[in-house]
């Protein structure tokens, strides 16, 4: 499989790490609110990569973290300090911050399941990885890359890491002094403007804090991903994933921390998904145009319609979502399921289609081409329906659209009444009446057929 590497700015062959497996780390959600469908597009990226590797017969491992402490808000409170997103939400909902985190973490897993996203091998939580984090900070201090500021917080000394900026192609000279490229309120103790907090000293009454040799506090956001990826994949990471906004500063900071700690280029490839827009604007809580998986369910739209739509767009292009496009995807998805249910069994997979579909996935997830090919196959007269069915079903291991799922067709009470009446007429061997009812149902789009197990029906 080849994937575009943000750092090298070209497609590279995905290679196993020194461990012998393709070790993948994907930055996970901050669990202080429901994930929006933009977040889900980024999480789908990791699923599609794994499905492709699986189809290629490659071994992989996949870790995604849960940020449940230490991710600060962009907004500042009255003291001019950035607030922890989870603590702020806990205050708002008047709940315990850990309850808030667990609640939104559960919701995140439900959303993943609704989109058929393969689960990770582990979902380490920041709050349960504190000793990994403090051990790593101690190591960075020992290596001369971190220091304690006058405010008691611990900072990474960015000038100790010469290739800072290589992922996003920023250099320290380009980053103006005083330019706010990270949440630096409350980071008064740092010695250089581009340094960032690894551990924040906390006031005595703050919730979610831990004791350390350097005082009571809580971890910064960037350090948790380095600590977790080093813990799970000590021999290096093959692919590190996230949304494009994480490229800088989050991934630059992670790279600096992990590379210094291991004295190596710890991550082989950095892969980023582009943003999802809704009605032409970036989907963000602050923009007020956030869409959740539950909003689709409320409109009786299968969440997998969203997956269908994401597959039709390349992950590296900005994609604009509208209700019209979601509904169109839902219609096509239902049509495919109906056809798969109606097409006869015992066909053979057509390699000329399947091989091309896998090739498209393997070529930097060109899922859009794969979807076009399936639309072509759907219409292709020279391929038997049996073979179409077999090919669609095997392709679905890559697509994850549950094409074999029988649609629950909602029919009116009147139609159900006619169906029941026909079953009765048939049981009473009243063939004339049963034929009349069959025709009446056919006229309104319900096809009735008789088999050894009795009468069955489907909508056209
Ligand atoms: P968060 O929970 O805000 O830390 O975000 C989780 C993931 O979603 C990160 O990888 C972000 O880069 C990604 N993300 C945030 N907004 C969008 C968006 N509008 N479209 C696609 N991905 C996004
Ligand atoms: Zn991360």
Tell me: the pLDDT tens digits for 366-415? 999 999 999 999 999 999 999 999 999 999 999 999 999 876 667 788 88
* Contact assessment for residue 333 and residue 401, using Cβ atoms and an 8 Å cutoff: yes
Residue 407: the pLDDT is 67
Atom 17 of ligand 1 has which residue's CA nearest to it?
38
162 burial via Cβ count (<10 Å: 0-12, 13-18, 19+): exposed
Cβ of 239: how many Cβ atoms within 10 Å? Answer: 27
pLDDT of 80 reads 56
What would the two tokens of residue 299 be? 């409109």
Give the relative orientation of helices 351-362 and 367-379 as an angle to the nearest 10 degrees. Answer: 160
**Delimiting residues of CATH 1.10.730.10 domain(s) in the chain:** 301-399
Task: Taking residues 230-253, report their average pLDDT.
Answer: 97
Coil vs helix vs strand at 450: strand
Q: CA 417, CA 346: separation in Å to the nearest integer?
A: 34
Q: What are residue 122's DSSP bridge partners?
A: 63
Predicted local confidence at residue 456, as pLDDT: 82
Residue nearest to atom 18 of ligand 1 (CA): 38
What CATH number has the domain spanning 301-399?
1.10.730.10
What pLDDT does 177 receive?
Answer: 52
CATH code: domain 2-273 is 3.40.50.620
How far is Cα 416 from Cα 97, in angstroms, rounded to an integer? 50
| SS3 call for 44 | helix
- Provide the sign of the torsion angle of the four alpha carbons 373, 378, 384, 385, taken in this order: positive
The answer to whether 59 touches 21, Cβ cutoff 8 Å, is yes
CB-proximal residues (5 Å) to ion ligand 2: 27, 225
Reduced DSSP (H G I as helix, E B as strand, rest coil) percent helix, strand, coil of the chain, to 5 = 45, 20, 40
Q: Where in the chain is the domain with CATH 3.40.50.620?
A: 2-273
- Cα-to-centroid distance, 139 and ligand 2 (Å): 19
Report phi then psi at 397, rounded to 5.
-65, -25
- DSSP H helical ranges for 75-155: 85-93, 97-114, 130-142
pLDDT at 184 over 60: no
Distance from Cα 51 to the centre of ligand 2, integer Å? 22
pLDDT-derived band at 450 (thresholds 50, 70, 90) equals confident
Which pLDDT value is given to residue 317?
Answer: 97
pTM here is 0.88
Query: What pLDDT score was predicted for residue 408?
Result: 63
Residue 421 pLDDT > 70: yes
Mutational test site, ligand 1, from 28, 30, 39, 242, max ligand atoms within 8 Å of CB: 39
pLDDT at 175 over 90: no
Query: Is 207's pLDDT higher than 90?
Result: no
pLDDT (tens digit, 9 = 90+) per residue, 109-162?
A: 999 999 999 999 999 999 999 999 999 999 999 999 999 999 999 999 999 999
Q: Output the residue whose Cα is nearest ligand 1's atom 5.
A: 29
Judge if the upstream peptide bond of residue 249 is cis by omega within 30 degrees of 0: yes
């Amino acid at each position: 499989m080849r994937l575009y590497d943000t750092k090298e700015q070209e497609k590279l062959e995905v290679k196993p790490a020194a461990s012998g497996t393709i070790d993948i780390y994907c930055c996970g959600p901050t669990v202080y609110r429901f994930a929006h469908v933009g977040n889900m597009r980024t999480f789908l990226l990791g699923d599609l990569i794994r499905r492709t590797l699986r189809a290629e017969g490659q071994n992989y491992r996949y870790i995604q973290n849960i940020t449940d402490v230490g991710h600060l808000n962009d907004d500042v409170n009255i003291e001019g300090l950035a607030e922890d997103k989870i603590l702020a939400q806990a205050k708002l909902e008047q709940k315990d911050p850990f309850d808030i985190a667990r609640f939104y973490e559960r919701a995140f897993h439900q959303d993943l399941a609704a989109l058929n996203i393969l689960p990770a091998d582990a979902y380490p939580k920041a709050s349960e990885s504190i000793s990994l984090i403090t051990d790593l900070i101690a190591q960075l201090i020992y290596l001369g890359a971190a220091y304690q500021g006058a405010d008691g917080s611990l900072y990474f000394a960015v000038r100790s890491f010469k290739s800072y900026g290589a992922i996003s192609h920023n250099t320290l000279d380009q980053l103006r002094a005083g330019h706010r490229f990270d949440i630096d309120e409350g980071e008064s103790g740092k010695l250089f403007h581009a340094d960032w907090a690894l551990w924040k000293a906390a006031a005595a009454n703050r919730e979610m804090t831990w004791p350390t040799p350097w005082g009571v506090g809580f971890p910064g956001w960037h350090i948790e991903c380095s600590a977790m990826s080093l813990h799970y994949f000590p021999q290096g990471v093959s692919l590190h994933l996230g949304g494009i906004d994480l490229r800088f500063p989050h991934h630059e900071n992670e790279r600096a921390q992990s590379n210094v700690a291991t004295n190596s280029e710890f991550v082989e490839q950095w892969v980023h998904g582009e943003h999802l827009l809704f009605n032409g604007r970036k989907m963000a809580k602050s923009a007020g145009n956030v869409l959740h998986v539950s909003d689709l369910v409320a409109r009786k739209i299968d969440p997998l319609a969203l997956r269908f739509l994401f597959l039709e767009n390349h992950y590296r292009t900005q994609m604009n979502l509208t209700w019209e496009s979601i509904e169109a995807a839902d219609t096509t998805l239902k049509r495919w399921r109906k056809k798969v249910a109606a097409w006869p069994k015992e066909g053979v997979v057509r390699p000329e289609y399947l091989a091309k579909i896998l090739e498209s996935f393997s070529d930097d997830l060109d899922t859009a081409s794969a979807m076009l090919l399936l639309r072509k196959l759907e219409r292709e007269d020279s391929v038997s329906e049996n073979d179409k069915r077999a090919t669609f079903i095997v392709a679905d291991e890559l697509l994850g659209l549950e094409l074999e799922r029988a649609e629950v067709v909602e029919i009116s009470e009147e139609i159900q009444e006619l169906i029941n009446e026909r079953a009765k007429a048939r049981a009473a061997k009243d063939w004339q009446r049963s034929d009349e009812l069959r025709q009446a149902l056919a006229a309104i789009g319900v096809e009735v057929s008789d088999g050894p197990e009795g009468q069955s029906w489907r909508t056209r």
